[in-house]
DNA sequence: TCTGAAATATCTCCACC
DNA sequence: GGTGGAGATATTTCAGA
């Protein structure tokens, strides 16, 4: 990633992380640029792969899920795990990792029985170790550039 | 969460998850509603807490981070952990969980030395067990309503 | 790369159903 | 809850610097 972000880019990114639906002209007003300038910068950031997309955060409970779980998995075949994950929309993320296990899955379930049936089917692929998520924080926090981290 | 989503709501949510910047009129064209109708539904979904916000997915590498790690933490004081997380923008998420550990942290680091210094400071609060994330999948996948999951 | 201006599209009310 | 229309905003495009 050899794309140098200037301070305008960083401000645009910060604003768009907070609200992806801000108009270019509103952003321009806040950072003192005209809307065509903002639009072109955003387009460049998208083309450079810095901005990967604009999404909507949805309340999983509103979709009928009641809680989330983290599952550490040890598998023989990563392909089998990938296929399992692709086939299950409950899977929110699959992280291949170093460590005793092979991967960490985060998934959303509608009920304990739902989790049980997922674990049963996942058990055919590998060994699992499950933690229920009680609460989550920081997920909505804007991502700072690494060179802008506060001094400690 | 006692909010019944009808099929229009679900289509709007699906479209907005893919691209949060679609215009109301473009959404209306695709689902056969007028733009004021779409705008009012989105407003209701936001007020009901179904739509929690519109965000931008940013490439962490473009911000100067080179990899992510998952850290299982066992702490005496959850408050101390929360303060630590709040003070460190590298923390992408804190999940309080059931299990042998107390919480699982996901964080972004710029270099191995960066991870090392974070672990050192986190070590003052509790015990840690760290896995480096090699690759991640499914994070960009749209969230389906639980009652719409494919039959298996 | 930005600005300014013109053409096009969208949003926001609001009356009505 | 929806539509359709009117006025205000926003986006897009492009010439010029």
Q: Write out chain B residues lying below 8 Å of A87, CB-based.
A: 150, 152
- Write out pLDDT tens, residues A81-134: 999 999 999 999 999 999 888 999 999 999 999 999 999 999 999 999 999 999
Q: Write out chain B residues lying below 8 Å of A146, CB-based.
A: 63-65, 108, 110, 114
Q: Cβ–Cβ of A51/B58 closer than 8 Å?
A: yes
Query: What would you report as the CA-atom Rg of chain B, rounded to the nearest whole angstrom?
Result: 20
CA of A19 to C1' of D14 (A): 29
Please, which pLDDT band fits residue A2 given cuts at 50, 70 and 90?
low
Please, which pLDDT band fits residue B2 given cuts at 50, 70 and 90?
low
Check if the beta carbon of residue A124 is closer than 8 Å to that of residue A80.
no
User: Running DSSP on this structure, what letter comes out for residue A36?
Assistant: H
pTM of the predicted protein model? 0.94
Strand D surroundings (CB within 7 A): A 23-26, 35-36, 39; B 8, 32-34, 36-37, 40-41
Please, which pLDDT band fits residue A20 given cuts at 50, 70 and 90?
very high
Examine the pLDDT at B3 and tell me if it is beyond 90: no
CA of A24 to C1' of C5 (A): 17
Hey, is B30 helix, strand or coil? helix
Examine the pLDDT at B152 and tell me if it is beyond 80: no
Q: What average pLDDT does range A44-60 have in this prediction? A: 97
Q: What are the backbone angles phi and psi of residue B135, rounded to the nearest 5°? A: -165, 155
* Chain D bases closer than 7 A to any CB of the protein: 1-5, 9-14
Q: What average pLDDT does range A66-88 have in this prediction? A: 96
Q: Write out chain B residues lying below 8 Å of A50, CB-based.
A: 58-59, 62
Nearest Cβ partner for B85 among A93, A97, A137: A137
Check if the beta carbon of residue B73 is closer than 8 Å to that of residue B119.
no
Check if the beta carbon of residue A70 is closer than 8 Å to that of residue A133.
yes
Nearest Cβ partner for B1 among A54, A62, A141: A62
Give the integer Cα–Cα distance in Å for B78 and A87.
36
Give the integer Cα–Cα distance in Å for A143 and A46.
16
List of residues 6+ apart from B95 with CB closer than 8 A: A68, A70, A133, A134, A135, A136, B103, B104, B105, B106
- Write out pLDDT tens, residues B35-55: 999 999 999 999 999 999 999
User: Running DSSP on this structure, what letter comes out for residue B70?
Assistant: E
Of all residues in chain B, the percent with pLDDT exceeding 90 is: 90
Of B134, B125, B136, which Cα lies nearest the Cα of B101?
A: B125
Strands (E), chain A: 51-58, 67-75, 91-97, 103-109, 126-137
Q: Write out chain A residues lying below 8 Å of B41, CB-based.
A: none
Q: What average pLDDT does range B8-12 have in this prediction? A: 97
Hey, is B91 helix, strand or coil? strand
Q: Which of residues 111-130 of A touch strand C (CB under 7 A)?
A: none
Q: What are the backbone angles phi and psi of residue B100, rounded to the nearest 5°? A: -65, -30
Give the integer Cα–Cα distance in Å for A132 and B78.
17
């Amino acid at each position: 990633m050899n794309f140098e972000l200037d301070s305008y880019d960083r401000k645009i990114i910060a604003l768009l992380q907070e609200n992806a639906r801000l108009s270019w002209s509103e952003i321009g007003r806040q950072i003192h640029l005209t809307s065509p300038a903002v639009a072109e910068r955003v387009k460049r950031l998208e083309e450079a792969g810095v901005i990967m997309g604009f999404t909507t955060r949805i309340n999983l409970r509103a979709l009928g899920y009641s809680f989330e779980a983290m599952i550490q998995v040890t598998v023989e075949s990563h392909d089998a795990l990938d296929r399992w994950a692709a086939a299950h929309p409950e899977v929110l993320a699959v992280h291949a990792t170093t460590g005793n296990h092979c991967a960490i899955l985060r998934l959303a379930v509608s009920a304990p029985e739902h989790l049980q049936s997922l674990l049963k089917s996942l058990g055919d692929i590998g060994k699992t170790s499950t933690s229920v998520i009680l609460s989550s924080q920081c997920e909505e926090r804007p991502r700072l550039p690494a060179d802008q981290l506060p001094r400690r």
